[in-house]
Amino acid sequence: MSIKITPDHLSRVAVVYVRQSTMSRVMGNLESQRRQYDLAQAAEAAGFKSVTVIDDNLGRSGSGSTQRPGFERLVAMVCSGDVGAVYCIEASRLARNGRDWHHLIDLCALAGALVIDPDGAYDPRLVNDRLLLGLKGTMSEYELSLLRQRGIAARDSKAQRGEYRFMLPPGFCWNELGKIEIDPDEHVAGVVRLVFTKFRELGSARQVFLWLRAADIKMPVVLRNVQIYKLSWKAPAYHKVMQILHNPLYAGAYAFGRIAQQTRIVDGRARKSAG
């Protein structure tokens, strides 16, 4: 046991913070979860009065762009002065952005709480430990930015060759060779063809929309934010008709990146939206 862990620390609560960035990692990377939960046993072996595991943020990114109720709960516990140590397997589990990381370290220093990982125990009140913790937080933030930059560069390179796969609009699907082809479902393809036929006949997207509503024809809608391509049949909507008429894929052109992401500050945190 580290000499930095004093009887005063042991008389308080040890908090084990567990986090994974995405639900796919929560379901697939069970070893990381096991390592994080095992820290509770390490805290008990160190002799802490009690151990609390905070795992409310499984499937939530630590980049600061999403709400993390577990992290907010951790900050509140540290502020109360009841926490003797915060356990994590690495700095990136606690935060991937400097704001949250340094805010937590400042609070730990004020409350006299330690930060403990498999490499050792750190006291934020000590200059050398504060320097090491600062470097860990900076490297964690840099690592996330580097991974994102590499991923975006690889995605854009594939898109320039027309090989990047993305969710296609109704009426199209990817074949085994990685090419875009017309959906074999004749019902789906037929409705899309009907939209273009009626547009050439009526000359107005609004008139097409009104005709579809009057004829009570359902339109195929792609469900977003799902791992599996799935269609749902819904009543015609004007913006859906416009999306079909404006999408260059229906004209035979491979098109990706037409909609950019925007970042806004909401309640002091970054929020991303497409537009």
The catalytic residues are 21
Tell me if 64 sits within 8 A of 269, measured CB to CB.
yes
Residues 6+ away with beta carbon under 8 Å from 94: 17, 19, 62, 71, 86, 88, 100, 101, 104
**Whole-angstrom Cα distance, residue 37 to residue 262?**
36
Residue 91 exposed, middle or buried by CB count within 10 Å (0-12, 13-18, 19+): buried
Alpha-carbon Rg for the chain in angstroms: 26
**Whole-angstrom Cα distance, residue 132 to residue 138?**
10
**Whole-angstrom Cα distance, residue 164 to residue 38?**
39
Tell me if 94 sits within 8 A of 88, measured CB to CB.
yes
**Whole-angstrom Cα distance, residue 16 to residue 35?**
11
Would you state the structure tokens that stand for residue 229, as one six-digit string? 């391509």
Q: Please provide residue 223's backbone torsions phi and psi, each rounded to the nearest 5 degrees.
A: -80, 125
Residues 6+ away with beta carbon under 8 Å from 54: 15, 16, 17, 18, 70, 73, 74
